[in-house]
Amino acid sequence: MILKQYYLGCLAHASYLVGDEKAGVAAVIDPKRDIDEYVEDAAKAGLQIKHVVLTHFHADFVSSHLTFRDRFGAAIHIGAQGQAEYAFTPAHTGDVLQLGDVRLEFLETPGHTPESISVVVYDSATSDAPHAVFTGDTLFIGDVGRPDLIASEGFEANTLAGWLYESLHEKLLPLPDETLVYPAHGAGSLCGRNMSTDTFSTMGVQRAYNYALQDMTQEEFVAMVTKDQPPAPSYFGWDARLNRLEEPFEARTVELERLSLDVLLERTEQGAQILDARDPVDFAAAHMRGSINVGLDGSFAQWAGAVLNFQKPIVLIVYPGGEAEIVTRLARVGMDNVTGFLSGGMQSLEQRPDLIERTERVTAKNLDEFLAETNPPVIVDVRGPFEWQAGHIPGSIDVPLQELQSRIDEIPQDRPFALQCLAGYRSSVAASILQTVGIHDFIELTGGIEAWEASKLPTVAEPSTP
């Protein structure tokens, strides 16, 4: 048996290639939009990819199921409750997909979405017991899928949460402790709220340590998983729709215009967005007014999709040679609206100091001193609510980054404030958003709360239910 995980850190997304080397046939599970890795690895192992399985209609990335169908004649398998414009093989509980000695058995596990499925993997050449289970967004490592996302539009969150409880207890928990658990996402994904940094586990470990699998009634479970869920990023609905459409979403070829500064300014006057994908440190030192910073070395695609408008053109400010990688990553979340990049990067602005802006960054020690003054800054923590509850700077307010644009009016305007996140990535995104709407009187904590704690400065925690 060949079983390989592909983990995309910038999307916290896991996909899989599984097949039988002897039979020469394979399937891909929840594949990302660009397919070269799967195709190359399959070829090296002598496998032909004949099947694509979507555990559900993903909302946080565009899948390549149609590309595999069109290029290789692969059959598409989706849960029996799914509805799409293209033909697919509906997967019912108990249905089997045979790949030589490797057997994939489908389980309908609705809850995260109505059509959600899990896929149990057997390798008859070695054992009759289940080897692994691909759980999609039903069961994560340390968490379970959210039942409230826009991908499930038309269904009440409480109804989906009830289905999720039944799926976990009737379909997944009966699997043996030794069964490997391979989910579709890990820590950092907005499809859950308390995921582990581990990318796989076993049913036994999850049975013992996953908070959502502990002994509780269905009513208690529903109340827990529907409580305090943050709003879904706007692009989630867009991607869920794309994954249902009959359109050939090929990975995009990079054909960008090299823009002069004057042309870039013309594009912005016509409504284009400026995406600065440089490191937050460089962005803080100098950046173009009106630009949004989402650094490439982070959860780039996720946050770009969350804060940019997928219906407006995007122009780039990047390090030399970085354009192709950015286009590929944005395409993974369904953003094909990049039109060009600033020729010469930030050096193009040397003669236009009026277009250059900076963000004041301070150390944890500096911030601590400011907090001791008579008019201390308000700390605006842009991490998620569970991160904030686990430990935050005393007196800080929590405005999660994915909610910032809709909660601008909660940002203090009558006194100074300081932006802070975990390590400085999200606070840089937040700083750029605030500057584009004319808010400039703030500072940003370098290194985030990690630097604060490393400096032995105090934090407080709030009692919470996971």
Active site residue 421: yes
Query: Which residues is 257 bridged to in the sheet?
Result: 340
Q: Cα-flanking dihedrals φ and ψ of residue 257, to 5°?
A: -80, 140
Query: Which residues is 337 bridged to in the sheet?
Result: none
Measure the CA angle with vertex 437, ends 436 and 438; round to 5°.
95
Q: Please pick, among 421, 433, 434, 451, the residue that the annotation labels catalytic.
A: 421
Half-sphere exposure of 209 (CA within 13 A, CB side): 14
Closest of 423, 422, 421, 419 to residue 434, by C-alpha = 419
Half-sphere exposure of 381 (CA within 13 A, CB side): 22
Please state, as a whole number, how many other Cβ atoms lie within 10 Å of the Cβ of residue 22: 12
Please state, as a whole number, how many other Cβ atoms lie within 10 Å of the Cβ of residue 72: 15
Please state, as a whole number, how many other Cβ atoms lie within 10 Å of the Cβ of residue 396: 19
Closest of 274, 255, 256, 253 to residue 264, by C-alpha = 274
Report the alpha-carbon distance of residue 107 to residue 392 in Å, rounded.
41
For 392, which DSSP code?
Answer: B
Half-sphere exposure of 452 (CA within 13 A, CB side): 25
Closest of 129, 215, 200 to residue 168, by C-alpha = 215
Would you please indicate which residues are annotated as catalytic (active-site) residues?
Answer: 421
